[in-house]
Amino acid sequence: MSVPPSDTSKRPTQAEAEQAVRTLLRWAGDNPDREGLHDTPARVARAYTEFFCGYEIDPAALLRRTFSEVEGYDEIVLLRDIRFESHCEHHLAPIIGRAHVAYLPRQRVVGISKLARVVDAYAKRLQIQERLTAQIANTINDELEPHGVAVIIESSHECMTTRGVHKPGVSMVTSTMLGVFRENSDTRRELMAMLNRPAACEF
Ligand SMILES: [Zn+2]
């Protein structure tokens, strides 16, 4: 279900990546040899390594360490407002947003930072928001086998604000509901109430 990483044996070298950036700079109408652009190809290659580091991460492996001594805790676990940065696969433009991830555990729980890491592992790839949402939910569902998983993502797509239709201030909301969150409207309502509750304190 996760997107197969590119065949690394065919992966271009850093020099080839930098050459490609020089081509784009020339295509934009500038001169890659002028002083200000001299180090730009190397910087862009480094930035790409950071933007797309998710291909190197196995999201499922992040969830393999679980805890079962939870004193019978059987209510919703919700991690709200996980900020993420991704890139749209159509324009390579940033997608900046927040994810809310919830699950209803079946005995096993996972360290909460791991949920945020799963979000990042998929966000740091070329994405469309619908797939990002589904991938996060499906991975948690497959690995933790909880009673249900809910993932809600709100984000702004720079390809819509800085080009094309030029509509700033528009946010896109997607959700994937699995198990009890899909089947049971009471559980879904409880989740929405938790999501809408103001933060109890400034942390
Ligand atoms: Zn786009």
How far apart are the C-alpha atoms of 111 and 137, rounded to whole Å? Answer: 16
Domain with CATH 1.10.286.10 in the chain: 8-51
Q: Give the pLDDT score at 10.
A: 87
Domain with CATH 3.30.1130.10 in the chain: 65-196
Q: Is 90 a catalytic residue?
A: yes
Q: Is 89 a catalytic residue?
A: yes
Provide the pLDDT confidence category of residue 1 given band limits of 50, 70 and 90.
Answer: very low
Q: Is 135 a catalytic residue?
A: no
Judge whether 88 is annotated as a binding position: yes
How far apart are the C-alpha atoms of 154 and 129, rounded to whole Å? Answer: 9
| Centre of ligand 1 from the C-alpha of residue 93, in Å | 6
Fold of 65-196: GTP Cyclohydrolase I, domain 2 (3.30.1130)
Tens digit of each residue's pLDDT (9 = 90 or more) over 113-161:
999 999 999 999 999 999 999 999 999 999 999 999 999 999 999 998 8
| Centre of ligand 1 from the C-alpha of residue 88, in Å | 5
**CB of 103 within 8 A of CB of 149?**
yes
Query: Which one of 85, 107, 154, 159 is the catalytic residue?
Result: 159
Burial class (CB in 10 A: 0-12, 13-18, 19+), 98: middle
- Which tokens go with 4? 């197969």
Tens digit of each residue's pLDDT (9 = 90 or more) over 25-78:
999 999 999 999 999 999 999 999 999 999 999 999 999 999 887 788 889 999
pTM over 0.85: yes
Q: What is the pLDDT averaged over residues 163-187?
A: 94
Judge whether 38 is annotated as a binding position: no
Q: Which of 4-18, 40-54, 176-190 has the lowest mean pLDDT?
A: 4-18
Q: Give the pLDDT score at 100.
A: 98
Fold of 8-51: GTP Cyclohydrolase I; Chain A, domain 1 (1.10.286)
